[in-house]
Structure 1
């Protein structure tokens, strides 16, 4: 699959995102940040969250983003603010290509949160300056992501569970991040 920003924008324009009911849930937003690598192929920014006691997403691979704050006028503002805070990457509002379906955790052991993913594209891979919330980051060519996931054993509250996941080098991408990327890949698959 060799897809460019214009085609991603076109497919997102035809997609009607499913907005879930936010009643009783925290609201959050993430950025699916795309940028062309040296060859012009689109890459996706993934972060590894810092290890923080009590954080259910501690140490996991994710997308830049977080909870909506009182000063955020909308979830797009949340996604843009959180991306800059966590990675130092400032996304202009015109970088937004579209929105994916809202998602929520599938397990009751996670906080009740509703996440809205915004797909953004910038002209080149920028310098990333991780905050204290981010242990590491990587740019992954979307051509290298599978259109379907494998399965891995993941420790959840002391138990090993088999979950759908992508392996990206030594990293396991699973849970809500996996679902967001899976939704994106299905949308842009040729």
Structure 2
């Protein structure tokens, strides 16, 4: 099964990312470069870590709003959790949305740039010995690559 309508409640070892789909494209961000951030400067989906008092839906809505200024409203479904290779204990749940309120405006404290990227703009190859997509001057690898690959396999992108 590609997509589900239920999700785990969350906890200290959980995070959520927002996969925003629009007319055959997906919103990706380039994170600001920040010392001590293991994902500094990388291409990613907007999202982040669970906080006490939230469930993962609360987490993804809060994080997407903080990072790109829109509030996700129409949930398509949830992909199975995956873990980044540099944090195998962290479980990241991708929430797929087809609608939101507001206009995408990257938060300059967290996001250097946001782009809508279509499947046709991505070419698959290798980068530093890892499978990756290249879209213009962006290299998309790691967890973001694996989530995009899953979206394509499921026919969502």
- What is the TM-score when the length of structure 1 is the normalising length? 0.72
* Higher helix fraction (1 or 2): 1
Query: Structure 1 residue 50 and structure 2 residue 32: aligned?
Result: yes
In structure 2, what is the equivalent of residue 65 of structure 1? 47
Q: How many residues align?
A: 154
Which secondary structure state, in structure 2, belongs to the residue aligned with residue 188 of structure 1? coil
Shift of 1:91: 1.0
* Runs of 4+ displaced beyond 3 Å: 142-146
| Residue in 1 that maps onto 2:61 | 80
Contact 1:56/1:110 (CA < 8 Å) preserved in 2? no
Q: Deviation per CA, 1:21-79, whole angstroms, max 9, x where unpaired?
A: x89x620000110112xxxxx2100000010101100000000000001131x111111
Q: If each structure's strand is expressed as a fraction of its own residues, which one has the higher value?
A: 2
Deviation at residue 142 of structure 1 after TM alignment: 3.2
Query: Secondary structure at the residue paired with 1:33?
Result: strand
User: What is the TM-score when the length of structure 2 is the normalising length?
Assistant: 0.86
Which runs of no fewer than 5 residues in structure 1 stay unpaired? Answer: 1-10, 37-41, 154-161
Give the number of the structure whose alpha-carbon radius of gyration is greater: 1
Alignment RMSD = 2.7
Task: Name structure 2 gaps, 5 residues minimum.
Answer: none
Counterparts of 1:145 and 1:58 in 2: how far apart (Å)?
22
1:116 pairs with 2:93: yes
